[in-house]
A and B are shown apart, each in its own frame.
Chain A
C-alpha cells in the first residue's frame, strides 16, 4: 500500500465536497454506487464537475476521445490509472 490516495478515495472526497456545497450529505460510497439513478444526491452538472476535478487531481482525461460508458463509482475509477 502506498500513501497516495486511491482514485476511489479521491472520487469519494470530491463527491463529498460537491454534496456539501449543496447542503447534502453523501451516503457511504461503494464501488457499486450509481452516480445517477441511485441514491447519491447529485445531478448531471455535479457529475460533470467531478470529472473536471478528477482531471485536475490526476492529470488524466479518459474522455478525451469521447464518451466511455460508466454508471458506478467503481466503473469510473477503473478508467483512471492509479498513478496519482
Chain B
C-alpha cells in the first residue's frame, strides 16, 4: 500500500474510452502499485499511465520523461531527483525537451476542489496543455474523460455519453468539436480556449451554444507559462493591461511584439523583460493578436514554420523553386499550401511522389495540404517571396 501523493485528491476518477463506447475506470488504488520503468521513460498517451508514473517518480525521487512518440528516450539521461520532462510535438525533426519542477507545475494549476466536475481531455496527455488538464482534475478531485488516440468524433461522443461539464481546447479543436456535436450538446459549465488566438466569431458562437458556461481564453507563452485569462467574451485583451499589468505580469509593446515581465517566467533577459514573439495590434480599448513575428502559424493547435517546411521541399530533387504559404481557413486556423516550380524535364507524378516522401516524417499539420505546380514563383517588389499568410 503506497500513500497517496499530497497533491492527488482522493476523489479523482479517470475514464478512458477506446472510441467504441467501452470505458475503463481508474481510481487511485488502481494506479498506485505501478513502478517507474528503470530508464524513467513513459509513453504518455493515457492519463492513467501519466498519473501512475508521476506518483511513482515522486515516491522513488526520480526523473520522469513523458515521451510522445515511439522510440523512447533517444539521448535523454535521467538527472537525480524528482522532475518531469515534457516533449514538444516537434513539427520538424527531433522534439524539444523541457524539464519542469513538479511543485512549480502544481503551483500553476488553478481551480477549487469540485468532485462534480467532469473534464474532457482534448489534448495529448503528455503535451504541456494536456498535463495541465490532467493535474487540474487530479488536484481538484474531478472526473477526467479521455479517449486516447481518438479524433474529434470520438471526443464529441465522449462529451455526450459521459455528460462532460468542463472542456479546455484550442480554438481549432472547438470549431471542429462544434461541427461534430451537431445538435447533441453537453451542458457545459466551463469552456476554455488556449494555444492559439481566439477569434471573436468563435467566442460569440461558444457563448451562444453554451450560455451557462464560464467562457475564458488563456494567453500563455513557452517561457512564462499561462500569463493571463480573458473572461469578458471578447477576443484579445483589454488595452488598459498594457498600462496596469495583469495578475502580477507587466506587459508592453516593442515594435508590435508583445513583451512581458512575469514573476513566474523561467527565462528572461537581464532587465526581466521577455519577448513573446507574438505580434499584436491595438484597436481602441482592445489589443488583438495578429500572428507570430517569426512567421510561425498555428495549424490546428500545432505550431508550424512555413519557412522550415519550404527548406525541406527545396531539398527535393527536381524542385527548382518552391513557396510554402499559410492559408487561413475556418476549421484549423491555417493550413500550409505549396507552389512548386519543377526543374525542366521533371516528371510530375514522380516529383509529387518524391515531395510526398520528403514530407512524410513531418506531423500531418506541418505538411502542405495542397501542392500546385507553377511556371514560376511570384516574387514581391522587395525581392522576397510573398510568404505572408493568405487570408
Contacts and interface: CB of A to CB of B under 8 A. Distances in A.
A48 B329 contact: yes
B391 A34 contact: no
A51 interface: yes
A45 B152 CA distance: 11
Contacts of A53: 370
A53 B368 CA distance: 12
B242 interface: no
Interface in B130-173: 151-153, 156-157, 172
A44 B364 CA distance: 11
Given A36-B153, A37-B179, A37-B181, A51 B370 contact: no
A43 B152 contact: yes
22 contacts: A36-B152, A36-B153, A37-B152, A37-B179, A37-B180, A37-B182, A44-B172, A44-B300, A44-B331, A45-B300, A47-B331, A48-B329, A48-B332, A49-B369, A49-B370, A63-B330, A66-B201, A66-B330, A67-B175, A67-B330, A69-B178, A71-B179
B369 A44 contact: no
A35 B179 contact: yes
Given A44-B172, A45-B332, A52-B335, A67 B201 contact: yes
Interface of B: 151-153, 156-157, 172, 175-176, 178-182, 199-202, 205, 299-300, 327, 329-332, 335, 337, 364-365, 369-370, 372, 391
A66 B337 CA distance: 20
A2 interface: no
Contact of B370 (A36, A44, A56, A63): A56
Contacts of A63: 329-330
A38 B152 CA distance: 11
A68 B330 contact: yes
Interface in A26-84: 34-38, 43-45, 47-49, 51-53, 56, 63-64, 66-71
Contact of A51 (B152, B299, B331, B372): B331
Q: Which 10 A-B pairs have the closest CB atoms?
A: A37-B180, A66-B201, A44-B176, A49-B369, A36-B180, A48-B331, A48-B332, A63-B330, A48-B329, A67-B330
B202 A67 contact: yes
Contacts, number: 76
A67 B201 CA distance: 6
Q: Which of B152, B175, B369 has the most CB of A within 10 A?
A: B369
B16 to A, nearest CB: 20
B354 to A, nearest CB: 16
A47 B300 CA distance: 11
Contact of B199 (A52, A66, A70): A66
B355 to A, nearest CB: 13
Given A45-B300, A56-B370, A64 B391 contact: yes
Q: Which of A48, A63, A66 has the most CB of B within 10 A?
A: A48
A68 B331 CA distance: 10
Contacts of A71: 179, 182
A56 to B, nearest CB: 7
B101 to A, nearest CB: 35
A70 B365 CA distance: 22
A37 B175 CA distance: 13
A73 to B, nearest CB: 12
Q: Which of B172, B180, B205 has the most CB of A within 10 A?
A: B180
